[in-house]
Amino acid sequence: MKAIWHNTKYMFLQTIRDRGAIFWMMLYPLLLSLFFYLALGSLDEVELENINIGVSKDYPMKDILQDINILNVSEIEDDDLKTKLDGKMLVAYINKDGDMTIKDNSFSVGIVKSIVDQIKQTTSLGQDARYIDFNANYIKDNSIQISSLKYYMFTLIAMFSVYGYFNSVELFSRYQANIDDLEQGLIQHRLRKQRL
């Protein structure tokens, strides 16, 4: 029993003295977790705000857009368009043909574009777009409610475990008994005979 503790102490000291092992097993995951926290700490705190869009008076689907909860729809004249887009009072403008005018690309623009595209696709199929329920949720979420930050931290714990596994495999191979070529051949020969 004394020899086991002596070997364990020797392996621990040898691992601690190896700077590469310390970096990859301890410092790298800690630095990575710090960077994850700084970069992804507020990932789940995103709240959608109402999106201000302007539409032409002649746009036939503006009543559909007004029924969508997340959109604040207002009729805009063409001469007010440039000043409102430059002043960021509007995210997008939709003309009478359903084409969008935007000032910059953002998450809100993507939402408006997907809504307008869905209206265009529905009308091109010959169906009435007024029957689309944009507020309906057709997907039932049965997943475990976990924040993105916790998910990444659990993956870091798994990374700690894998790096520890690599270290233990290296230690086992280091303390493997010396086997010469003749003994290896005999072991392999016995294994070949025992094939199923």
In a domain, 187, yes or no: no
Q: Could you give the number of structural domains in the chain?
A: 1
Domain that holds residue 93: 51-131
Which pTM value belongs to this model? 0.51
Q: Which of 27, 62, 69 is nearest to 48 (CA)?
A: 69
In a domain, 56, yes or no: yes
In a domain, 125, yes or no: yes
In a domain, 59, yes or no: yes
In a domain, 85, yes or no: yes
Other Cβ atoms within 10 Å of 167 Cβ, number: 16
In a domain, 79, yes or no: yes
The Cα 122–Cα 116 span in angstroms is 10
**Where does 97-147 have alpha helices with state H?**
107-124
Contact 87, 104 (CB under 8 A): no
**One pLDDT digit (tens) per residue for the chain, 196 residues:** 787 788 778 878 877 888 887 887 778 888 888 888 888 777 666 677 888 888 888 888 888 888 888 888 888 877 777 777 777 788 888 888 888 888 777 888 888 888 888 888 888 888 777 777 766 777 777 777 777 778 888 888 888 888 778 777 776 766 666 666 666 666 555 545 555 4
In a domain, 141, yes or no: no
Contact 73, 62 (CB under 8 A): yes
In a domain, 80, yes or no: yes
The first and second tokens of residue 33, run together, are 């977790």
Burial of 98 (0-12, 13-18, 19+ CB in 10 A): middle
Q: Which of 29, 47, 39 is nearest to 155 (CA)?
A: 29
